């Protein structure tokens, strides 16, 4: 999920389809749960602030909002519906309780795909202890497939196009989401797989060590050759341990001799803004820091107790 070029390809597909089929496009994302749909509908209507939407993303998926920001901006600007695909936490807890698929709102699950299990186990390591994670993977994919089927069965969507954004593992070879959705509602579909053919040496440590499994199937209908690029690391360091705290960022601890300590920041301080940019969460701060270099200065609005302070900080090389 960390390749920014893959997300660029996703956006290009959405933009092209939106141009060719105006008002007939919806986008489903693995990154949101089905239980988030009411909030996603509010966002589509302009009833959620950007901060509330970011919090919704973090609650459903975690970090990584910046990777999808351009996609979200396009969807929001063009009022393209966004659909949450993944199972709710309640459904997952029910499944862990060994309720049978097809009962208590659990989707019907096909455990018998001859290629899905060996391919999945090659990712998990192939151990018997991985049976529970494999079952949860099946729940996720069947739930996402059920959400696709629900969309296709809705008469109001008869002339609509649905774009699914999910990890390549869930669509590769077709035996994840695609065939499980087709089992429910026969329909035409295409799998587009952004494909990295050469990994940059500096990113080799991100490569997964996966045992090769021979699958006699095409991995996708279309392979889109891309480079592997990730968001840049911060060139500067504050020297703090942070946590998200009620639509702002809280300093848990300040490192000795750090830029933060030299600027007078203290444990427990709330970081409200940097250079006029309101800080909703840690990602807002790191997005700003990525654009700074050693020697740059920034102005922080800091709340300490009941007092708000304007603090200037200069980013120097960390002292050893």
Radius of gyration of the chain (CA): 22
Q: What pLDDT is stored for residue 160 in this prediction?
A: 96
**Residue 71 neighbours by CB distance under 10 Å:** 20
Q: What pLDDT is stored for residue 245 in this prediction?
A: 84
Q: What pLDDT is stored for residue 235 in this prediction?
A: 80
What crossing angle do the helices spanning 65-77 and 4-20 adopt, rounded to 10°?
A: 10
Q: What pLDDT is stored for residue 126 in this prediction?
A: 55
Give the CATH H-level superfamily of domain 240-314. PDZ domain (2.30.42.10)
Q: What pLDDT is stored for residue 270 in this prediction?
A: 96
Buried b (16+ CB within 10 A) or exposed e, 263-276: bebeeebbbbbbee
Q: Hunting for tokens 């427990």 — which residue is that?
A: 268
**Residue 147 neighbours by CB distance under 10 Å:** 23
Report the C-alpha gap between 261 and 242 in whole angstroms. 14
Give the closest residue to 60 by CA, choosing from 22, 42, 34.
34
Report the C-alpha gap between 68 and 248 in whole angstroms. 21
4-89+116-226 belongs to CATH 3.40.50: yes
Q: Are strands 297-304 and 270-274 parallel, antiparallel or unpaired?
A: antiparallel
307 three-class SS: strand
Q: 240-314: same fold as 4-89+116-226?
A: no
Biggest CA–CA distance in the chain, Å, is 65
Domain ranges of the chain: 4-89+116-226, 240-314
Output the tens digit of pLDDT for each of the chain's 320 residues.
Answer: 789 999 999 999 999 999 999 999 999 999 999 999 999 999 999 999 888 899 899 999 988 898 999 999 999 999 999 999 999 999 999 888 875 555 567 899 999 999 998 888 887 765 555 688 899 999 999 999 999 999 999 999 999 999 999 999 999 999 999 999 999 999 999 999 999 888 777 677 666 666 778 889 999 999 999 998 888 777 889 999 999 988 889 999 999 999 999 999 999 999 999 999 999 889 889 888 988 889 999 999 999 999 999 999 999 987 65
Torsion from C-alpha of 113, 115, 116, 120, nearest 10 degrees:
150
What crossing angle do the helices spanning 282-289 and 65-77 adopt, rounded to 10°?
A: 100
Q: Are strands 82-86 and 25-33 parallel, antiparallel or unpaired?
A: parallel
């Amino acid at each position: 999920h960390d390749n920014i070029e893959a997300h660029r390809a996703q956006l290009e597909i959405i933009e092209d389809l939106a141009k060719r089929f105006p008002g007939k496009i919806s986008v489903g994302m693995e990154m949101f749960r089905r239980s988030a749909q009411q909030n996603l509908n509010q966002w589509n209507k302009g009833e959620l602030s950007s901060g509330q939407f970011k919090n919704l993303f973090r609650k459903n998926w975690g970090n990584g909002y910046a990777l999808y920001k351009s996609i979200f901006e396009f969807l929001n600007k063009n009022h393209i519906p966004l659909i949450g695909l993944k199972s709710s936490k309640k459904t997952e807890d029910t499944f862990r309780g060994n309720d049978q698929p097809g009962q208590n709102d659990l989707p019907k699950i096909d455990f018998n795909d001859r290629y899905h299990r060996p391919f999945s186990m090659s990712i998990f390591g192939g151990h018997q202890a991985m049976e529970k994670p494999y079952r949860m993977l099946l729940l996720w994919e069947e739930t996402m497939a059920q959400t696709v089927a629900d969309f296709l069965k809705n008469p109001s969507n008869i002339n609509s196009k649905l774009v699914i954004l999910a990890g390549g593992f869930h669509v590769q070879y077709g035996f994840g989401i695609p065939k499980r959705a087709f089992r429910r509602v026969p329909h035409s579909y295409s799998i587009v797989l952004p494909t990295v053919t050469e990994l940059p040496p500096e990113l080799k440590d991100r490569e997964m060590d996966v045992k090769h499994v021979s699958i006699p199937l095409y991995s996708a209908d279309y392979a889109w050759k891309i480079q592997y690029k990730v968001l840049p690391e911060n060139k500067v360091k504050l020297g703090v341990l942070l946590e998200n705290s009620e639509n702002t960022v809280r300093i848990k601890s300040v490192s000795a001799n750090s830029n933060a300590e030299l600027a007078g920041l203290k444990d427990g301080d709330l970081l409200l803004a940097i250079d006029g940019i309101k800080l909703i969460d840690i990602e807002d701060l790191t997005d700003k820091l990525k654009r700074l270099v050693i020697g740059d200065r920034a102005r922080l609005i800091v709340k300490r107790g009941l007092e708000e302070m304007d603090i200037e900080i200069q980013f120097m090389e960390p002292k050893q």
